[in-house]
Amino acid sequence: MNVSFLKNPSIKFIIFIFLFYISWYFVYYWWVHPLETVDLFVIDVTISISKWILELFNYSVFTGADRLIGIDGSGGLWVGDSCNGIVLFALFTGFIVSYKGNWKYKLIYIISGILSIEFLNALRLVFLAILDTHSRAWTEFNHAYTFTIIIYAYIFMLWILWVNKFSNKKVA
């Protein structure tokens, strides 16, 4: 059996991403997710950041112990596990880990990237809360499409930035 195609960097990348994702999937859904502590922590952080931003712009905000945030006069938004960004953190981490580069820089870049993805997710919640005061239909549309495109494009941009600017850096 000829496995010379495995020497191709693109094939290696695809195989690694696939194995990374499968491993992450099983660890997350069989161990981390059932405990709920990580999911709830990330949701609480996202809601706290979003609340702070909304209040910075003089919105009167309500939150609830049951993952709820909204602007007074609206129905509010419930933040589910699938919206907490953990899947995005793993996707981003997989892209960076699977590509060449110094591990010291990878770790710094992964942490920075996850923090920026978290902040972008909080901004998403801010805009959805504002939209929710005007139209539930627009809230649903933007949640399902606009922000999904934005966040995946952002993660792709972060990966391209890694590939083009940081993956070849040597340890100082």
Which residues, at least 6 apart from 29, have a Cβ–Cβ distance to it below 8 Å? none
- Give the structural domain span for 91: 9-166
Please indicate, yes or no, if residue 127 is contained in any of the structural domains. yes
Is 5:15 a contact under the CB 8 Å cutoff?
Answer: no
Is 121:151 a contact under the CB 8 Å cutoff?
Answer: yes
Handedness of CA 29, 114, 158, 148 (dihedral sign): positive
The two beta strands, 68-71 and 77-78, are antiparallel
Give pLDDT tens digits along the chain (172 positions): 666 767 787 888 888 888 998 999 999 999 988 888 999 999 999 999 999 999 999 999 999 878 999 999 998 999 999 899 999 999 999 999 988 888 999 999 999 999 999 999 999 999 999 999 988 889 989 999 999 999 999 999 999 999 998 888 665 5
Query: What per-residue confidence (pLDDT) applies to 118?
Result: 98
Please indicate, yes or no, if residue 171 is contained in any of the structural domains. no
Query: What per-residue confidence (pLDDT) applies to 158?
Result: 97
Please indicate, yes or no, if residue 105 is contained in any of the structural domains. yes
Please indicate, yes or no, if residue 4 is contained in any of the structural domains. no
Give, to the nearest 10 degrees, the angle between helix 103-132 and helix 37-56: 60
Three-state SS for 60? coil
Which residues, at least 6 apart from 75, have a Cβ–Cβ distance to it below 8 Å? 132, 136
Number of domains making up the chain? 1
Please indicate, yes or no, if residue 62 is contained in any of the structural domains. yes
Please indicate, yes or no, if residue 1 is contained in any of the structural domains. no
pLDDT tens digit string along 108-117?
A: 999 999 999 9
Q: pTM for this one?
A: 0.88
Query: What per-residue confidence (pLDDT) applies to 14?
Result: 87
Please indicate, yes or no, if residue 3 is contained in any of the structural domains. no
Please indicate, yes or no, if residue 38 is contained in any of the structural domains. yes
